[in-house]
Amino acid sequence: MYKRKRNWIEDYKFHIIPKILPDELLSSWLTRTAFAHSRTLSLFTTTYIKNEGANLSRIDLDFRYDEQLFAILADKSRLSVSEILKMSLRNEEGYLFACNKCLYPPKQIRKLLDKRTHYGLMFCPICLREDKTPYFRKQWRYLFYNACPKHQVYLVDRCGGCFERIRFHKMALSDAIVYCHNCGRDLRKTRPKKVNDKHRYGIQAVEWFETGLKNGYFIIDHEKINSLWIFQAFTNLYAMLKSLKNLQLSNFPLLHEYQELQAKLSKYNSKKASLIYENFLLTAMVYHLFQNFPRNFRAFIKENNLTHRDFIHGFKNIPFWYLGIIQDLVPVENKIGREISESEVIGAINYLKQNNQKVTQQSVAHVVGCHFSIHKQFVKIYQRRAD
């Protein structure tokens, strides 16, 4: 008696190939393809994609770079590899982030699960509601994308009924990828918070970063700047702004709102969307620093008594453009008279050693943020430690 091969369907192409929608995530398209075949994502990948199976549905498919997988998907869907790759977040490499065979998303992209911020797979319920065919967008994974410019609402990061995070590989089979796997509620019914007119500045920030990413460059002080350099600077400035406890930014229109939010976050851990609003306001601040350049940037430095070291310490792969503007706005030589402690010098030496960098008087001074030969206090401390 003839026995059918257990995984016989792996040898066949997809029967139904959904049209790729504008800026669609690869995981969104693959889940829609699975549903079109009357299978859940886990069962579909196990059945159709050899040597991948259920594991494929549990990883961050949208960031994973796997040429063999892309080739399989292209062959089975009769699409080109470039069409498959375009749905991947890795297609933004060189524009949004730099990555040397990295396994995990860089800071410019939200992780799928990060309890310190939010659940990662965010969405605009109104976009899903208006879609003829609901789908999830790539920009909803970008760190700077916290609100929908089209509908003027904040993005949502979980089901509006049970507050469970969205996971494609657990979704039950249905006619659309809009039902919570936990409670079955339609995600389109989630009520997002409206961005009021007072916060319109934050929407402008989202639009500015999105336009720069699409163009591949930004215009700063009448000069074209590579989008990658801006987004590398974005992550550093974002972290820097968040770390300042008594942030001063007098001409930033949403400073009071940010201060009020920080006061709330210091008292309790919100289960709602407070951290999304914080992200929204921090993104608006970074945007603000690049507007009317260098006026806003220079005011930020002056009001917060920032040094050259504050802008470069711990910043890996610093773009030459960024290093140049910091040198112009707050040069090392301007900080000759700053008091330097021995612990600062020791910390700089340890930092260089940990990163396998050469420890010299000049390299240590560069990390500390002072002149390596003019600052007498630094020279004295360094030479004493060297002895």
- Read off the pLDDT of each residue in 253-271 and give the average, rounded to a whole number: 82
Give the count of beta carbons closer than 10 Å to the beta carbon of residue 59.
15
The answer to which of 48-62, 69-83, 84-98, 354-368 has the lowest mean pLDDT is: 48-62
Is the model's pLDDT at 308 over the cut of 50? yes
Quickly state the pLDDT bin for 42 (edges 50, 70, 90): confident
pLDDT of 187 above 50: yes
pLDDT at 269: 58
CA distance 323 to 28: 39
Tell me the pLDDT tens digit for each residue of 127-139.
999 999 999 999 9
C-alpha closest to that of 142 among 177, 97, 102, 200? 97
Q: What is the pTM of this model?
A: 0.83
Q: Over the stretch 62-87, which tens digit does the pLDDT of each residue have? A: 999 889 899 999 999 999 999 999 99
Task: Answer with the residue of higher pLDDT: 20 or 366.
Answer: 20
User: Which of residues 46 and 138 earns the better pLDDT score?
Assistant: 138
Provide the pLDDT confidence category of residue 333 given band limits of 50, 70 and 90.
Answer: low
Q: What is the mean pLDDT of the chain?
A: 88
Q: Within a 10 A sphere around the Cβ of 106, how many other Cβ atoms?
A: 17
Six-digit token string for 71: 């080739």
CA distance 387 to 384: 5
pLDDT at 116: 60
C-alpha span between 156 and 275 (Å, rounded): 11
Q: Which of 161-170, 234-243, 363-372 has the highest mean pLDDT?
A: 234-243
pLDDT score at 4: 46
Provide the pLDDT for residue 46. 84
Most confident of 4-18, 31-45, 130-144: 130-144
State how far the alpha carbon of 269 is from the alpha carbons of 164, 235, 322, 326, in Å: 17, 23, 35, 35
- Percentage of the chain surpassing pLDDT 90? 59
Q: Which residue has the tokens 């400035």?
A: 237
Tokens, residue 23: 């800026």
Q: Is the distance from CB of 97 to CB of 234 less than 8 angstroms?
A: no
pLDDT at 204: 98
3-state secondary structure the chain: CCCCCCCHHHHCCCCCCCCCCCCECHHHHHHHHHHHCCCCHHHHHHHHCCCCCCHHHHCCCCCCCCHHHHHHHHHHHCCCHHHHHHHCHHHHECCCECCCCCCCCCCCECCCCECCCECCCCECHHHHHHCCCCCCEHHHHECCCCEECCCCEECECCCCCCCCCCCHHHCCCCCCCCECCCCCCEHHHCCCCECCHHHHHHHHHHHHHHHHHHHCEEEECCEEEEHHHHHHHHHHHHHHHHHCCCCCCCCCCCHHHHHHHHHHHHHCCCCCCHHHHHHHHHHHHHHHHHCCCCHHHHHHHHHCCCCHHHHHCCCCCCCHHHHHHHHHHCCHHHHCCCCCCHHHHHHHHHHHHHCCCCCCHHHHHHHHCCCCCCCHHHHHHHHHHHC
Name, in order, each residue with C-beta under 8 angstroms of 10's C-beta and a sequence gap of 6 or more. 47, 48, 49, 50
